[in-house]
Structure 1
Amino acid sequence: MTDNLSYYYYNIGLKNARIKDITHAIDALSIAVVLKEDNIPAWNLLGLCYYRLGKLPTAEYCWMTSLYISNGINANDTANANSVNNANNANSADIANNADNDSSAMPNNIASDYLRCVREDIKFIEDRITGVKTLIAEKKYKKALRVMEKEFSRNLRQKNDKFTLNNFNDFKIDKNVMLLNYIGLLYMLNKKRRKALRAWEKAISLDTSNPDTLKYILHAFNAYK
């Protein structure tokens, strides 16, 4: 019973991910992995969703859990998961394509590829964002914005030429909701409202229900009433 419910919520999460409603996809996928802890496709898709939001340590945790479980997963569970995916996930695109590829690739768990990439990304971002946070704490907003534009806007494009998630090229680091929200806030602090709104419009196109982005957009409009 709980296994069927887990796959039901997995498919809801997959459907939401297809339409770029990542926030609600995460809600459904979180239920899926609680109901069936060894639902590897759900863990992997959950990691991809957190990756899109820019929550890289959480994505790393999901993929580490997936790999740990896959070492001892029951073959019947894998067969059941594949049959549900094949029946419900035809004509998937972007995030959905990668989830389907993952489930069909068992027992070769693609989470190992994701982990290699996300660990590079975590180091890349943390090394740079720490300095930006220090500047913000010191209220040096202009300098913080210059650092963000220099270190991320330029270097992220260069980085993407080398580091992308295998078979999931739409999940590039410059399509990162957290960074877009962060840059938008810095634009607002520097009184560059139009640029802030453009950053948040891009973020909301990646996750249509993101509560932080929606809050920032609403604040930007209310501030100029």
Structure 2
Amino acid sequence: MICYNCGCRLSEHNFCTGCGVDVSLYKRIMFTSNRFYNDGLEKASVRDLSGAIVSLRQSLKLNKNHIDARNLLGLVYFEMGEVVSALSEWVISKNLRPKKNIADDYIDMVQNNQSRLDTINQTIKKYNQALQYCYQDSEDLAVIQLKKVLSYNPKYVCAHQLLALLYIQTEEWEKAYRELQKCCQIDANNTITLRYMKEVEHMLSPEEGTKNAPKKRGSSEKIVRYQSGNETIIQPLNVKEHRGVSSLLNLGLGVIIGVAIACFLILPGRIQSAKADINKDLRAVSEQSDAKTATIDELEQKVQKLTDEKALLSEELASYQGTDGTLQATDGLMMAVSAYMKAPDDIKAIADYLEALDEEGEEAEEHKTDAFTSLYDSLVATVGPKLEEYYYNIGYSSFRSEDYDTAIPNLERAYRYNNTNGDALFYLGESYFYTEDYDTAKKIFAQVIDDYPGTRKASSSETHLAEINNAG
């Protein structure tokens, strides 16, 4: 803990050993702020996000420079879908501590992804439009807009709550209950959600107003009660014991009479008719047997001939595959295109197929046709930005965890799909530098200096080049 007056580190005494100022109240305030931060951390760990926000705000009221509390508050806002509030907290945190602040990574995670920024903007616009529709009593349009908002940001608690409120207004209790359940999964102790949930559960539960009604003396009437939509269905069971016995006796007599009629009147005629049909079918089968026997022999000969031709073609195909890589390469490219057509967002599957094509090397390159090259270039042009983002995220994450062997190939692929990605090129050079491949690192740092002069990447590259040259 640092003295607020002189900046000296405080000891266990209630005064500063540097300037002598009384810091007992200051210490108490800082300890209280830390307690609120710990309370907010515990609540966030059990998904009590609303309670965590209250505790973290109280912590920041006592100590606005509490970086950990401010960063955690931003994460809680982000988890609840409040991206703008989260960015505000992270920007303040970054201004308070410009260096060695994890808020830099959080801000980069949002701002460096253009598609995510567009999604956030669309979410805010559509949510505001839904509010406007609510003010205009256009609930149907508001529901449509809120569903679009939740398709962009499924964790937006306010959108879930507003949608549930609209369902409550239109008395669609089950839909409202599902939306409120989603809110509880995100924020387990939100006061607004719990208030709405209590109202919805009350409407969905069966009415029990007749539970304590007096029964008539000697009455044995029973009822079955269940809920159907917004109505409670009550079904009486007024079946007496002697009626049940008489019904069973009547049913038994009916079955006996029916069986007797079937055995003595209907069954013999049916048996004779079935025999006649069977004999007719047997004669028809006998007449067709000889013709089918000849046909079977002819077909067996054709099958044998086709089997021999298939074996010959299979040998030729295996030979063709063994000497020429065109078929394998085309098959791999078709699988990549098929994966893109089925699931355009499954970048990992597309990347795996393209990696398999790249691993075939120069030998397969000689056999690739112009049509193959054109299709490959079109596919790469379509999914190239997503592939760049996919490999850059993996490479940068591996670089941050000092797994340079994994970072190098992924950063190389990211730069190959977008040769304007200076960050991928710079981190690739640093990965080679930390693995002591100084020759490759020097080439990459020189390229960074030439392509991005005057940037932080260029200055860092110059520093690394100087270190390599001095070490040499």
TM-score normalised by structure 2 residue count = 0.34
Q: Partner letter of residue 61 of structure 2?
A: V
User: How far is 1:180 from its partner?
Assistant: 1.1
**Structure 1 residues 166-177: aligned runs within 5 Å:** 173-177=153-157
Deviations 1:78-121 (A, max 9, x none): xxxxxxxxxxxxxxxxxxxxxxxxxxx64774342366278655
Which range is displaced more, 126-135 or 211-220? 126-135
**Cα distance change on mapping 1:6 and 1:121 into 2, 3 Å:** farther
Matched length: 175
Question: Aligned pair in 2 of structure 1 residues 115, 5: CA closer, same or farther (>3 Å)?
Answer: farther
Pick the aligned partner of 2:138 from 137, 140, 145. Answer: 140
Identity %: 23
* Bigger relative contact order (CA 8 A; separation at least 6): 1
Q: Could you tell me how far apart the structure 2 residues matched to 1:123 and 1:139 are?
A: 24
Gaps in structure 2 of 5+ consecutive residues: 1-26, 208-472
CA distance in 2, matches of 1:195, 1:143: 16
Instruction: Return the letter of the residue paired with 1:58.
Output: S
Partner of 1:206: 186
The residue type equivalent to 2:85 in the other structure is T
Tell me, yes or no, if the aligned pair for 2:94 and 2:103 is still in contact at 8 Å: no
* Cα distance in structure 2, aligned partners of 1:65 and 1:46: 12
Alignment partners' CA distance in 2, 1:152 and 1:107: 29
- Per the alignment, residue 107 of structure 2 pairs with 112
Amino acid corresponding to residue 184 of structure 1 in structure 2: A
Q: Select the structure of larger CA radius of gyration.
A: 2
Q: Are residues 195 and 53 of structure 1, via their aligned partners in 2, closer, same or farther at CA, if it must alter by over 3 Å?
A: same
**In structure 2, do the counterparts of structure 1 residues 202 and 39 end up closer, same or farther at CA, with 3 Å as the change threshold?**
same
In structure 1, give the amino acid aligned to 2:46: I
The alignment partner of 1:57 has SS state of helix
Counterpart of 2:149 in structure 1 is 152
1:34 paired residue number: 61
125-134 or 193-202, larger mean C-alpha shift:
125-134
In structure 2, C-alpha distance between the alignment counterparts of 1:31 and 1:39, rounded to whole Å: 11
Deviation at 1:39, TM superposition (A): 1.4
Q: Please, what is the CA RMSD of the aligned residues?
A: 2.6
Q: Which consecutive unaligned segments of at least 5 residues does structure 1 have?
A: 74-104, 157-172
TM-score by length of 1: 0.67
Q: Per the alignment, do residues 120 and 37 of structure 1 end up closer, same or farther by CA in structure 2, a change over 3 Å counting?
A: farther
Moved more, 199-208 or 185-194: 185-194
Q: 2:123 aligns with which of 110, 122, 125?
A: 125
Kindly state the Cα deviation for residue 51 of structure 1 after the two structures are TM-superposed.
2.5
Assess, with a 3 A threshold, how the Cα gap between structure 1 residues 122 and 110 changes in structure 2: closer, same or farther: same
- Asked if 1 retains the 8 angstrom alpha-carbon contact of 2:127 and 2:159, the reply is no
